Amino acid sequence: MEPPKRSAIPATQKYLPVSEIRDNAIIMNDGTLRSMLLVSSVNFALKNEDEQNAIVGAYVSFLNNLNFPLEIVVHSRELNIDNYLSDLKNKEKAQTNELLKAQTSEYIDYVAELVSLGKIMNKRFYVIVSYNPLSDEKKNFVGRLGELFSPVNVVKMKQEHFDRLKKELDRRVDSVVAGLASIGLNVVELDTQALIELLYNIYNPDSSEHQPMRDVSNLRVI
């Protein structure tokens, strides 16, 4: 008698809104594309009044020139300094100068005590640029209707279609980068490796600390 067949367990990816990550872009299940920009911060409170007014004016101008939606995300995570403390302890052991060795030990105790008093958060700022092909008024009704019912299949099957959408997305990214640069912010577009690592860390906050992502080129996609 043959053992009963086990029902296939659905992959975790089935429950995620992301269909694919390709060429520095995230393809969502609804067929829309996303690019993520890592943006530096500005200590607004330390600026004088003229500088603050200039920043606000540049930001208002940037927003008024946009003709598509943007999403701003602040990603906060507790800062893990275990590796930093471990490195300091190794330097302490290797130190031959007794005075420097004692000072290093005191510094390690100070940092450890400081962290124990409260959580130290690490914040990163992201701007998400999206492109929805269904919002393109140049498309005819039949084409938009077909993408509405099978957006992911269209993107996966046709490289030319993806390249066209990516070109439109890149135009928006260039516009946003230029606008943010006018405010005095540094902007970096996340590549495919960085996007995968970011999503992996977000969805696996505990395991990502002990099991970092491998390089994308060494991943095998099933």
- Say how many domains are in the chain: 2
Verify that 41 and 96 share a domain, yes or no: no
For residue 93, the enclosing domain spans 80-118
- Cβ of 190: how many Cβ atoms within 10 Å? 19
Which of 23, 19, 18, 17 minimizes the C-alpha distance to 162? 23
For 171, residues 6+ apart whose C-beta sits below 8 A from its C-beta are none
Q: How far apart are CA 173 and CA 165, in angstroms?
A: 12
pLDDT digits (tens, 9 = 90+) for 69-126: 899 999 887 777 778 888 989 988 888 888 888 899 999 888 888 877 767 777 889 9
Residue 181 lies in a domain: yes
Residue 17 lies in a domain: yes
Give residue 157's pLDDT band: very low, low, confident or very high (50, 70, 90).
Answer: very low
For residue 194, is pLDDT > 70?
yes
Residue-level pLDDT at 17: 84
Residue 167 lies in a domain: yes
DSSP string, 149-187: HSHHHHHHH-HHHHHHHHHHHHHHHHHHHHHHHHTT--E
pLDDT, averaged across the chain: 80
∠ CA 198-159-135, nearest 5°, is 75
Q: How far apart are CA 14 and CA 70, in angstroms?
A: 26
Verify that 106 and 169 share a domain, yes or no: no
Verify that 90 and 196 share a domain, yes or no: no
Q: Dihedral of the CA atoms 28, 134, 63, 43 (nearest 10)?
A: 0
- Is residue 108 within 8 Å of 87, Cβ to Cβ? no
Residue-level pLDDT at 162: 86
Residue 70 lies in a domain: yes
Which of 53, 71, 96 minimizes the C-alpha distance to 176? 71
Verify that 130 and 169 share a domain, yes or no: yes
Verify that 55 and 144 share a domain, yes or no: yes
